[in-house]
């Protein structure tokens, strides 16, 4: 069946994978929040990391989406805009779009394909869209869906349907999903009836891995390879 839409994961797919320690980001939050008390800052950073880990375990086990604000509330850290900025600054190095993305997206767009993003993220959607705009690729996308705006995240079928709804595509078999995670991305997309392409370069933390007996319809080593792969579909 003819492909109408290509939907991309964000981290590890549109952006190359960079391994960072979440504790560093939460330590930045805590040290800003308690800049005059190292002991309280260390305690808060540990509490934030534990809350974050618990929320990601919920994603793995029940596909419940969450937000950064949920983690902060779970740890009773208190909202602090300056501390949140410090947290975000740690992650910025991992947000840069792969240089191969723009020409690949341009080629797919010229073919008349609808393009979307579906990402499992705790961060606000406007952060992501700011970074995509910074890198000159936001306008290629007809819809961006962030799990921080949803009740469930990948591989839950409602997350994939939200992306389809955003693009106005009714039939999953007309969609291709491109992602780096066999469980969240490949099994989730195939489970709803989409075709799926794996980008196999991410060093996914062991605690986030779930074994699956599902195989992608295609594997690419580079985003630049995607247009040729899809040409035969």
Whether residue 58 is found in the same domain as residue 161: no
Category of 64 on φ-ψ map: left (φ > 0), alpha (ψ -120 to 50) or beta: beta
Q: What is the pLDDT of residue 214?
A: 86
Q: How many whole angstroms separate alpha carbon 38 and alpha carbon 31?
A: 7
pLDDT, one tens digit per residue, over 91-131 is 999 999 999 999 999 999 999 999 999 999 999 999 999 99
Whether residue 116 is found in the same domain as residue 198: yes
Q: How many whole angstroms separate alpha carbon 49 and alpha carbon 26?
A: 7
What CATH number is attached to the domain comprising 214?
Answer: 3.40.50.1000
- pTM equals 0.94
Q: Cβ–Cβ contacts within 10 Å for residue 53, how many?
A: 15
Question: Which of 76, 93, 110 is where one domain is finished?
Answer: 93
Q: Provide the domain limits for residue 170.
A: 5-16+96-231
How many domains are there within the chain?
2
Whether residue 37 is found in the same domain as residue 59: yes
Whether residue 142 is found in the same domain as residue 219: yes
pLDDT, one tens digit per residue, over 21-35 is 999 999 999 999 999
Whether residue 83 is found in the same domain as residue 101: no
Q: What is the pLDDT of residue 1?
A: 64
pLDDT, one tens digit per residue, over 172-202 is 999 999 999 999 999 999 999 999 999 998 6
Whether residue 118 is found in the same domain as residue 60: no
Q: Is the pLDDT of residue 208 over 80?
A: no
pLDDT, one tens digit per residue, over 51-99 is 999 999 999 999 999 999 999 999 998 889 999 999 999 999 999 999 9
Question: Which of 77, 93, 109 is where one domain is finished?
Answer: 93
Whether residue 103 is found in the same domain as residue 117: yes
Write out 93-154 in H/E/C secondary structure.
Answer: HHCCCCCCHHHHHHHHHHCCCEEEEEECCCCCHHHHHHHHHHCCCHHHCCEEEEHHHCCECC
Question: Which of 93, 120, 147 is where one domain is finished?
Answer: 93
| pLDDT-above-90 percentage for the chain | 88
Whether residue 172 is found in the same domain as residue 216: yes
Whether residue 120 is found in the same domain as residue 72: no
Whether residue 224 is found in the same domain as residue 135: yes
């Amino acid at each position: 069946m003819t492909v109408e839409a290509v939907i991309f994961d964000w981290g590890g797919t549109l952006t190359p994978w960079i391994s960072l320690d979440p504790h560093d980001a939460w330590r930045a939050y805590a040290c800003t929040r308690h800049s005059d008390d190292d002991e309280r800052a260390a305690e808060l950073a540990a509490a934030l990391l534990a809350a974050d880990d618990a929320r990601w375990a919920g994603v793995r086990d029940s596909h419940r989406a969450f937000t950064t604000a949920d983690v902060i509330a779970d740890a009773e850290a208190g909202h602090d805009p300056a501390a949140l900025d410090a947290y975000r600054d740690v992650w910025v190095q991992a947000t840069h779009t792969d240089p191969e993305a723009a020409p690949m997206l341009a080629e797919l767009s010229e073919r008349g394909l609808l393009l979307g993003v579906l990402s499992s993220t705790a961060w606000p959607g406007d952060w992501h869209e700011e970074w995509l705009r910074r890198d000159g690729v936001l306008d290629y996308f007809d819809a961006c869906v962030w799990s921080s705006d949803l009740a469930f995240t990948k591989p839950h079928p409602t997350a994939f349907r939200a992306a389809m709804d955003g693009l106005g595509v009714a039939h999953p078999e007309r969609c291709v999903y491109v992602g780096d995670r066999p469980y969240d991305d490949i099994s989730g997309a195939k489970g709803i009836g989409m075709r799926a392409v794996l980008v196999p370069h991410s060093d996914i933390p062991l605690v986030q891995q779930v074994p699956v007996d599902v195989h992608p319809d295609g594997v690419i080593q580079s985003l630049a390879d995607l247009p040729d792969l899809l040409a035969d579909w």
